[in-house]
Amino acid sequence: MFDKDFIFGVATASFQIEGSLDADGRCKSIWDTFTENKKNILDGSDASKCSDSYLRYKEDVKLIKELGVDAYRFSIAWPRVIDENNKPNKKGIRYYVNLCKELIKKNIKPIVTLYHWDLPQWLEDKGGFLNDEISNYFEYYVDVITKALDGLVTDYITINEPQCIIYTSHVACVFAPGTKYSDKEILKAVHNLLLCHGKAVKVIRRNVKNSTVGIAPCSRPIIPFDKNNKLLEQKCYEKYFECKKEGEYANLVSIYSDPIFLGDYPKSYYEDFKDILPNITKEDLELIHQPLDYLYQNFYSGTYYNFDEAGNLKQEPFYPGFPEGNIDWLQVVPEALYYGPKFLYQRYKTPIIISENGFCDNDFVSLDGKVHDPGRVDYLKRYLMEFERVSKEIEVKGYFVWSLFDNFEWNSGLRKRFGLVYVDYRTGDRIKKDSFKEYKNIIKKRGV
Ligand code: GBH
């Protein structure tokens, strides 16, 4: 059982659920542009409807209420709130005000993500995260929306998964805008992104009384294959926080979380990149390193490591037929919710909230008219049991399932389903899956 002030929640993101992409003066985001090229999306689909949440938000809130969660994590679409002339868009803002009022009326705490990847296209046209002005634009947007939500929202997450914003979009190039960055550009973009975070924190603290603020990176924890080997655990910890040029440094933890929570980039960063460092000032580092209430983290899977015969750390491969979801990176590794939070807390000493955890499957409507998803039910229980185990050892404050709805799964389009609620994309209609009922039960018992 979790403590009684532990927060159970469910999460979504604007572009993945809202639809109505042309409504009320919303301007284009980089994901609108990216989906226009059908080759970028697994099934050639787009996000023009999804669960139709821009129009059906009152129904959404009823579902959330029925689920029994304490909090709803959703994101705000920058392109709805700010127009192409960088002026507030009243109609777009009103949607989020209405949504928050509806949640509060039903006693559900709104947790707002300020940036979940839908960068206005007109800002990408000005250079996106390579433009040194980007953090000023972000600061302005955050000022507008926090003032508009004054009295309604106290809990903010500045940025969702900086790793995807830089690595997946500009190194792997499979997310919007999909343009390749050089190492030098990556470092500059990372720094600008961290400045966006820092400036946002300042604005939130100034505008919002009793605020709580955090950021939500993602990571794939390094799991010791032998649980009783303390030296192996220590080596896994070190690998998890590694930052070196020949690694996937922009997809890992420390290049973002060290400056934010420890006040500086890792030592190896300055060594490995000494010829291509961006301009980093003392003031920048102070701005980036402001106290945060929570370290949110999105966890889905993990990777096992062991010692080889020479005593070096090596990845332990997944055996053929290893349990997995219906998306290639989602092996079922429940210990991710034990070692991930443990390692993060050990290094950053900040209370942990799991801001996303969930399962992808090929769900469909059965003959009985229901949607049965035993894989997701089992996944949630296994992961929550591990999280409960670590909650006895470190400070954990909450857990959010990804996702309330089946939704637009970025480059996988509508083909990959993560919801507790099934969506018929022809109509936007919804059917509660078995996992919805199971999670509801878990929340009632405050544990698995
Ligand atoms: C999260 O990303 C997102 O926050 C959320 O919006 C999303 O719907 C959800 O999880 C489910 O995916 O193509 O080889 O570069 C999860 C982390 C990061 C995992 C990007 C897949 C791409 C691997 N994802 N990663 S690759």
Q: How far is CA 422 from CA 61, 71, 74, 227, 327, in A?
A: 16, 20, 18, 37, 17
Ligand 1 atom nearest to CA at 117: 6
Which single residue is written with the structure tokens 């999804």? 50
pLDDT (0 to 100) of residue 223: 98
DSSP 54: T
* CB 15, CB 26: distance < 8 Å: no
pLDDT (0 to 100) of residue 430: 98
**Chain-centre distance of CA 344, in angstroms?**
16
- The reply to whether ligand 1 has any atom less than 6 angstroms from the CB of 409 is yes
Catalytic residue (one of 18, 102, 335, 356): 356
Nearest partner of 145 among 113, 183, 192, judged by Cα: 113
DSSP 236: H
List per-residue pLDDT tens for the chain, 448 residues long: 999 899 999 999 999 999 999 999 999 999 999 999 999 999 999 999 999 999 999 999 999 999 999 999 999 999 999 999 999 999 999 999 999 999 999 999 999 999 999 999 999 999 999 999 999 999 999 999 999 999 999 999 999 999 999 999 999 999 999 999 999 999 999 999 999 999 999 999 999 999 999 999 999 999 999 999 999 999 999 999 999 999 999 999 999 999 999 999 999 999 999 999 999 999 999 999 999 999 999 999 999 999 999 999 999 999 999 999 999 999 999 999 999 999 999 999 999 999 999 999 999 999 999 999 999 999 999 999 999 999 999 999 999 999 999 999 999 999 999 999 999 999 999 999 999 999 999 999 999 9
Catalytic residue (one of 161, 233, 409, 438): 161
- The reply to whether ligand 1 has any atom less than 6 angstroms from the CB of 118 is no
Q: Which one-letter amino acid corresponds to residue 357?
A: N
Which stretch of DSSP H or E encloses residue 185?
helix 183-207
Q: Where are the beta strands (DSSP E) in 226-288?
A: none
The CATH fold assigned to 7-445 is TIM Barrel (3.20.20)
The length of the chain is 448
CA distance 285 to 275: 20
Which amino acid residue places its CA nearest to atom 24 of ligand 1? 164
Which single residue is written with the structure tokens 């929202």? 153
What is the gyration radius of the CA atoms in the chain, in angstroms?
A: 21
Our answer to whether residue 233 is catalytic in this structure is no
DSSP 371: B
CA distance 383 to 339: 11
* CB 116, CB 160: distance < 8 Å: yes
CA of 106 to the centre of ligand 1 (A): 31
CA distance 305 to 324: 18
Q: Within a 10 A sphere around the Cβ of 281, how many other Cβ atoms?
A: 8
Degrees to nearest 5, angle at CA 298 with 31 and 199: 70
Q: Where are the alpha helices (DSSP H) in 218-323?
A: 230-240, 254-262, 267-272, 282-288
Q: Where are the domains of the chain?
A: 7-445
Which single residue is written with the structure tokens 């966890």? 299
- The reply to whether ligand 1 has any atom less than 6 angstroms from the CB of 364 is no
Structure tokens at 77: 């679409």
CA distance 33 to 16: 15
Our answer to whether residue 438 is catalytic in this structure is no
Structure tokens at 338: 């034990």
CA distance 197 to 168: 19
HSE of 294, CA atoms in CB hemisphere, 13 A: 25
Bridging pattern class, strands 313-315 and 303-307:
antiparallel
DSSP code string of 139-170: HHHHHHHHHHTTTT--EEEEEE-HHIIIIIHH
* CB 120, CB 89: distance < 8 Å: no
